[in-house]
Structure 1
Amino acid sequence: MTVRLSLIAPAMNAALREARFDDSGPVEPVPAGLLTPAAGVRVVSSPSGRCRATAEALGLGPDVPVAEALAGCGMGRWRGRRLDEVSAEDPAGVGAWLSDPDAAPHGGESLGALLGRVAGWLEALEPDVAVLAVAEPDVIRAAAVHALGAPPSAFWRLDVRPLSRTTLSGRSGRWNLRLGEPLGPAAG
C-alpha cells in the first residue's frame, strides 16, 4: 500500500518576488494545459490565497478542498513584511529564527511546529490514494525534510521554484522523493 503525493508550488506573485511574508495577492498568469491530473486523484490546496489562485489558474477548479495542515508557517507580526526590512529592524530575531527550529521571534509558528504539522499530515495520508496538493513553498520544504529524515537545518537549504512539482511516494514512514520537476500535461 503506497502513498502517492504530488506537491505543486504556487505560481509567482509579488510577495514571492519580494521575499515578503505574505501568501495572498494575485498570481502571475499560468500557461493553459500545464497540469492535467490523472483520473481518481484527490486534489487539495493550502488555504492561502496564492495557492487557491494557482489551483484555479491550473484548471483544478475554484472549489478545490482546503487542507489546513498545508498552510504556510504562521509568521505573526512579520506577516506582510519583507525579509530585508525585518532583518534590518530585528537582526537577532531573524538570526534566532534561522538557527533555532523552536524560535518564533515573530510571535507566530516556529519552524519546528511547521515541520511537525506537515509530518503529521503526511503520515496520515491514506495508502493507495493519489493526492495532488497545491502547497506553499515552506510546506513543500518541510515535507522534503520529513521524507528524507533530515535535520531541521536542511529546511533552509532547499529551494522550491514556482510551479514546480515535488513527488513523494512511500509507505510505513519510508519515503522516496523527486524534487523540482516542471509541470506538464500528464501530472498527478
Structure 2
Amino acid sequence: MTARVILLCHAATAAMRAGRFPDDEAIEPDALSNGAVLAARLPRVDAVVSGRERRCLDTAEALGLAATPSAELDDWSVGAWRGRVLAEIATAAPDLFAAWRSGPDAAPEGGESLRALLARVGAWLDARMSARKLLAVTHPAVVRAAVVHVLAAPPSSFWQVDAGPLALVDLRHDGRRWALRSSTLDAF
C-alpha cells in the first residue's frame, strides 16, 4: 500500500512580507480570502496534523480542517533571532549569520541547527511510511527539510528548495522508498 503525506505551507504572515524571522503571529487577514475554494481542491485525507504555531492553526481553521497539533511539525527554531529582521542580524552578527547559512551544525543562541531540523523532520516523515493519506499544515522550513530528506540530498540543498505561503508538496512511500510528486492544487 502506498503511503501519502501532503505537506501544505501555512498562509502568508506579516513576518514573511517584512523579511523577519517569525514569532507566533497570525496569518494575514486576507491570506485565505478564498479558503473555501482552496479547501475544495485539497485531496481527501484520513487525518490532518499541523505545527503548533498560530499561523498553522489559523491556516487549518480557515480551510475548515480539524488539525491535530504536533511538535514535530513546528517551525525551525531560531532561538534568539525569533521576531528579528534577517537583514539586521546579518549586519549585527555577520559571522554567525554566514555560519548559519553555510554550516549545517551552526545555530543561533537557543536555536536549532539545520542538521537538527533535517533529522527531526526526517524522523517524523519516516514514522509516517504506513500512513494512508495524511495532510500536514506546516512551515516552509519543514516542507523544505522534508524535500531534502526524500531526495536524500545534502543539507546544503535545503537552501535551493523554495516553499512559500500555501505551497503544496505531495510525498508518496511505496514500501521501499519515498518519492516526491510534483502537483498543484489544480491537479486535485
TM over 0.5: yes
Residues 2-28 of structure 1: CA deviation (Å, up to 9, x unaligned): 210110011111011122111422213
Superposition CA RMSD, Å: 1.8
Q: Is residue 142 from structure 1 mapped to residue 133 from structure 2 by the alignment?
A: no
Is the 1:7–1:166 contact (alpha carbons within 8 Å) kept by the matching residues of 2?
yes
Is the 1:96–1:105 contact (alpha carbons within 8 Å) kept by the matching residues of 2?
no
Q: TM-score, normalised by structure 2?
A: 0.90
**Cα distance in 1 between the residues matched to 2:45 and 2:5:** 13
User: In structure 1, the residue corresponding to 2:16 is in which secondary structure?
Assistant: helix
Q: Greater shift after overlay, 22-31 or 104-113? A: 22-31
Counterpart residue identity of residue 89, structure 1: A
Corresponding residue of 1:46: 51
Is the 2:45–2:135 contact (alpha carbons within 8 Å) kept by the matching residues of 1?
no
Equivalent of 1:155, from 144, 154, 158?
158
Q: Greater shift after overlay, 137-146 or 155-164? A: 155-164
User: In structure 1, the residue corresponding to 2:68 is in which secondary structure?
Assistant: coil
Where does structure 2 lack aligned partners over 5 or more consecutive residues? none
Corresponding residue of 1:34: 38
**Cα distance in 2 between the residues matched to 1:48 and 1:155:** 22
Q: Is residue 15 from structure 1 mapped to residue 20 from structure 2 by the alignment?
A: no
The alignment covers a number of residue pairs equal to 183
Where does structure 1 lack aligned partners over 5 or more consecutive residues? none
Is the 2:21–2:83 contact (alpha carbons within 8 Å) kept by the matching residues of 1?
yes
Corresponding residue of 1:129: 132
Counterpart residue identity of residue 52, structure 1: L
Q: TM-score, normalised by structure 1?
A: 0.90
Closer/same/farther in 2, CA of residues 173 and 73 from structure 1, 3 Å limit: farther
Counterpart residue identity of residue 26, structure 2: P
More helix by share: 2
**Cα distance in 2 between the residues matched to 1:132 and 1:23:** 23
Q: Is residue 111 from structure 1 mapped to residue 114 from structure 2 by the alignment?
A: yes
**Cα distance in 2 between the residues matched to 1:141 and 1:42:** 21
**Percent of pairs with identical residues:** 45
1:171 Cα deviation after fit: 3.5
Is the 1:48–1:71 contact (alpha carbons within 8 Å) kept by the matching residues of 2?
yes
Counterpart residue identity of residue 104, structure 1: A
Is the 2:5–2:131 contact (alpha carbons within 8 Å) kept by the matching residues of 1?
no
**Cα distance in 2 between the residues matched to 1:117 and 1:164:** 20
